[in-house]
Structure 1
């Protein structure tokens, strides 16, 4: 039994270390390690209470589910040796890791079972949420934007400020006459990774770009190309592909999202109250 507890805590400590610090337990600082161990111990004790509760009766995790979860985790490693080595460094072996994973999946299944007790969401609940949270359904104006970037680097002959300025001016003049060539020119000349996607920046609301670019983008009409612009990255030319006006998401469009949101919230409240009851019965 002691060995099972140690394995379970090691598994939870591994997850906590990755979640909180992005590191394996062995790489943690002393204070980080102590915090992770404390969290893992507390979580293991709580899970033990969950597994001993009446609601745990008849909850089973099919072996195929455990195996699928194991395969998904294995797939994160280049090979089996790396997977086994990582387990060993964290005080685990494959069999004990699978047992800890099955335990976690069973706890999740019990919590889902408890969550089914949550109060249902009515049409009136959905309607009231929509009426009392209008700010959540307002959509700002957005611009579908592309750009071409020529960087400034005085140590590279073709990217000195003067040369970069000449290059971007030629590109801008070409696109002012033929804006439909923007994607082609971005692929050929842009020094931004977006060049591979024709310079596409995406559908942007105000405030997502450097201020000088943002201002210019929201002054363009759909299909227009900007003049030469400068940011701390270098020189740019922008094109506004399309404009989506500010709008309010209608009730029919929002109601499915609202229902799911309320259902999840009520399920969490139900689960938290149940867990609190377990803790209070110490």
Structure 2
């Protein structure tokens, strides 16, 4: 059956990243089980009262097809995938339409839960303050001279000497850090003036981490040895640890709690519909 072939293909790609026909026997069994679950969900959702009047936005199916096409190197590759599954492009379009309708009905069910208000979101905020704690972060740059005994300019001794010379120039003219990084750093970050971005503790090599979090804002380190080589670090700014105030997170928190409640209620609704369908089929 065409629809079952589509769901077997969908399950195979989701579970194993391969076409159904390329799966081992045990994998095919697993994918077939999931395909049957997809089919059961589709049947109960689209036959529900909540599905009445649900329509897709213009171009929704075309957009879904384009997304699938973009996962393939060319049209021939997509055609081969469909052929192996026993599907035509029209079969794919029809199946995607039903798939998208299922999503639309589930979204409608979830939306019926309503929007989480300030009182509920504030209660969540104050009972989960630890989730809104932001650890200290430091904006930093570095210059790296690698150690490689196979190259005369990158022996341990030469690498240290080179980074010390760069350090001397920067101590007399700190504003040249980005220029010196572009000219001399042997890290890909050199292209961006040695910028490491915002760093939290534990993100760098331990030796670098220990030095960076002792620097003051604007301060330059001496040579720091890591397994890569010798580094110069500059701490550009310090964002101290803090707990985000409710006013700063209120809007995004309400939206997240609303979405989570919608998903939870939609799953509960679906579970009830599936249970009812199973009971009806066995009676």
TM (norm. structure 2) is 0.89
Cα contact 1:11–1:92 (8 A) shared by 2:
no
The 2-side partners of 1:6 and 1:90 are apart by 6
Match of 1:269 in 2: 264
The 2-side partners of 1:34 and 1:194 are apart by 48
Call closer, same or farther: CA 1:146–1:8 in 2, change over 3 Å.
same
The 2-side partners of 1:193 and 1:100 are apart by 46
Call closer, same or farther: CA 1:189–1:87 in 2, change over 3 Å.
farther
| Residue 100 of structure 1 pairs with residue 95 of structure 2 | yes
Match of 2:195 in 1: 200
Match of 1:209 in 2: 204
| Residue 260 of structure 1 pairs with residue 234 of structure 2 | no
| Residue 116 of structure 1 pairs with residue 101 of structure 2 | no
Note the alpha carbon deviations across 1:115-141, whole angstroms, 9 max, x for none: 112143222112111211111222221
Of 223, 227, 231, the match for 1:236: 231
1:39 to partner: Cα distance: 2.0
Cα contact 2:219–2:235 (8 A) shared by 1:
yes
Call closer, same or farther: CA 1:76–1:211 in 2, change over 3 Å.
same
Match of 1:72 in 2: 67
TM-align CA RMSD: 2.1
Superposed, 1:1-282 pairs within 5 Å as 2-18=1-17, 23-25=18-20, 28=23, 30-62=25-57, 64-281=59-276, 282=278
SS at match of 1:146: strand
The 2-side partners of 1:122 and 1:37 are apart by 42
Cα contact 1:10–1:92 (8 A) shared by 2:
no
The 1-side partners of 2:168 and 2:85 are apart by 60
Call closer, same or farther: CA 1:87–1:181 in 2, change over 3 Å.
farther
Note the alpha carbon deviations across 1:188-218, whole angstroms, 9 max, x for none: 2222111111111111121211111011101
SS at match of 2:59: helix
Call closer, same or farther: CA 1:73–1:133 in 2, change over 3 Å.
same
Note the alpha carbon deviations across 1:42-95, whole angstroms, 9 max, x for none: 222222221222211211224511112222332344432333334435554322
The 1-side partners of 2:136 and 2:178 are apart by 24
The 2-side partners of 1:135 and 1:85 are apart by 51
Cα contact 2:140–2:196 (8 A) shared by 1:
yes
Call closer, same or farther: CA 1:217–1:15 in 2, change over 3 Å.
same
Call closer, same or farther: CA 1:268–1:153 in 2, change over 3 Å.
same
- The farther-off stretch of 150-159 and 248-257 is 150-159
Structure 2's unaligned 5+ residue stretches are: 279-283
Cα contact 2:142–2:231 (8 A) shared by 1:
yes
Call closer, same or farther: CA 1:35–1:150 in 2, change over 3 Å.
farther
Call closer, same or farther: CA 1:24–1:194 in 2, change over 3 Å.
farther
TM (norm. structure 1) is 0.89
Call closer, same or farther: CA 1:43–1:217 in 2, change over 3 Å.
same
